[in-house]
Amino acid sequence: MKEKIVVITGANSGIGKAAALKFAAEGYRVVMACRNLTISKAAQQEIIGVTDRAQVDLMELDVSSFASIRSFRATFKAKYPYLDILIHNAAYLNHGEKAYKLSPEHIELSFATNAFGPYLLTHLLADHLAKSEDPRVLNACTTNIKHFFDPKRNIEFDNLRGEYRETRPYSVYKMYGDSKMAFLMLTFKMAEQFKSQGIKVNALQINRVKLSKETIQKMSPMFRMLAKLQNFTNPLPTGMADNYYQLCTSQDYKHATGLLFNHKREVVQPSISEKGFAQLKNIFGSRNYPQYAIDPIQVAKLWDLCTELTAED
Ligand SMILES: NC(=O)c1ccc[n+]([C@@H]2O[C@H](COP(=O)([O-])OP(=O)(O)OC[C@H]3O[C@@H](n4cnc5c(N)ncnc54)[C@H](OP(=O)(O)O)[C@@H]3O)[C@@H](O)[C@H]2O)c1
């Protein structure tokens, strides 16, 4: 049987690491695409040790940097003849961060990492994915996009390159939610774009999962304490990693594309109404996403911006 190859970004901790372990245990060749090779080497060795399987590779990738993505593409294509599964798991959310930060290409860091980087990586690997018999792309989204049920909520398109960084208040949570909303919009659009090549693109709406020790260690003391408290009740990453695995391998989802799944792997639908009781159901349930995600004007604006920002000189 032909070996199946899966790339998982940010596979050195949390859900990404649990997913790398699951895929390796099931016999896949796993390429852990991580930005810090020293830290990630330990995770790689741990996965090889636990699964007793050697086919776990580690490659350098900073998803927030277009230069790093282009370099990853070149190395990956030289080493692997095709790609079966691409999981965009890595994300930027630095709890309590007060400073507006820019990526190497001068794009707001949440957007660079959580939306534009994955957009570029998918496009650069599309021809390799198209060589697979069953190519699938999975994007890690979040319930945080529910804030877009508020009709006043908007993506700050005019402030993604630091235009108003000195004058507008910065909220890392707003930028995180905005960038994940953008990622969902891109999921739907890329699914359409890649349909003719047989590449399926879906998203998973992640609700809550225990944070890893490594991630908690990076937080300020107050956020560390809050995260530890939440970790008492939040489920282990293995359950969500299993969702990654099922959505990317099961025959049940072989033809699924352009869909958002919730943590129970139910298809999340666009909300029909965002008023009154329907709105309460939207907010407290997990079966609807905001209409903003399919607003043609916003989607076109985002797509044009992606094309412009990621174009090579
Ligand atoms: N945990 C939750 O409750 C929850 C809820 C909703 C959504 N999610 C989503 O689920 C996914 C996984 O989250 P998690 O909780 O498992 O987080 P995590 O343990 O903090 O893992 C995030 C991973 O992303 C990597 N990463 C961050 N920026 C990167 C970059 N520029 N280039 C490459 N890798 C980068 C991190 O690498 P470093 O170790 O080098 O920092 C880390 O390996 C994320 O997309 C997150 O938004 C999680």
DSSP one-letter string for 238-302: HHHHHHHHHHHH-GGGTT--S-EE-TTSPEEEE-S--SHHHHHHHHH-SSEE-GGGG-HHHHHHH
Whether residue 21 has pLDDT greater than 90: yes
| Region for 96 from its dihedrals, namely left if φ exceeds 0, alpha if ψ lies in -120 to 50, beta otherwise | left
- Closest of 121, 140, 8 to residue 64, by C-alpha: 121
Between the CA of 238 and the centroid of ligand 1 the distance, in Å, is 14
Counting ligand 1 atoms within 8 A of each CB, the residue from 9, 12, 15 with the most, and so the one to mutate, is 15
Residues with a known catalytic role = 176
- 10 close to 63: Cβ distance less than 8 angstroms: yes
Residue 223: predicted pLDDT: 87
**Is 139's C-beta closer than 6 angstroms to any atom of ligand 1?**
no
Residue 276 to residue 231: CA distance in whole angstroms: 33
Output the residue whose Cα is nearest ligand 1's atom 17: 14
Whether residue 214 has pLDDT greater than 90: no
Burial of 155 (C-beta count, 10 Å sphere; 0-12/13-18/19+)? buried
- 260 close to 141: Cβ distance less than 8 angstroms: yes
Residue 218: predicted pLDDT: 84
What homologous superfamily does CATH list for 5-310? NAD(P)-binding Rossmann-like Domain (3.40.50.720)
Whether residue 221 has pLDDT greater than 90: no
Residue that is written with structure tokens 């920002």 in the block: 309
Ligand 1 atom nearest to CA at 64: 31
Per-residue pLDDT tens over the stretch 22-35: 999 999 999 999 99
What mean pLDDT do residues 143-168 have?
95
**Is 35's C-beta closer than 6 angstroms to any atom of ligand 1?**
yes
Report phi then psi at 175, rounded to 5: -65, -40
Ligand 1 atom nearest to CA at 237: 16
What mean pLDDT do residues 257-283 have?
96
What mean pLDDT do residues 41-63 have?
97
Residue 139: predicted pLDDT: 98
Residue 164 to residue 182: CA distance in whole angstroms: 19
Per-residue pLDDT tens over the stretch 84-99: 999 999 999 998 888 9
Whether residue 313 has pLDDT greater than 80: no
Ligand 1 atom nearest to CA at 93: 47
Output the residue whose Cα is nearest ligand 1's atom 1: 209
Residue 222: predicted pLDDT: 87
**Is 200's C-beta closer than 6 angstroms to any atom of ligand 1?**
no
- 48 close to 40: Cβ distance less than 8 angstroms: no
> What proportion of the chain, given as a percentage, has pLDDT over 70?
100
Domain ranges in the chain are 5-310
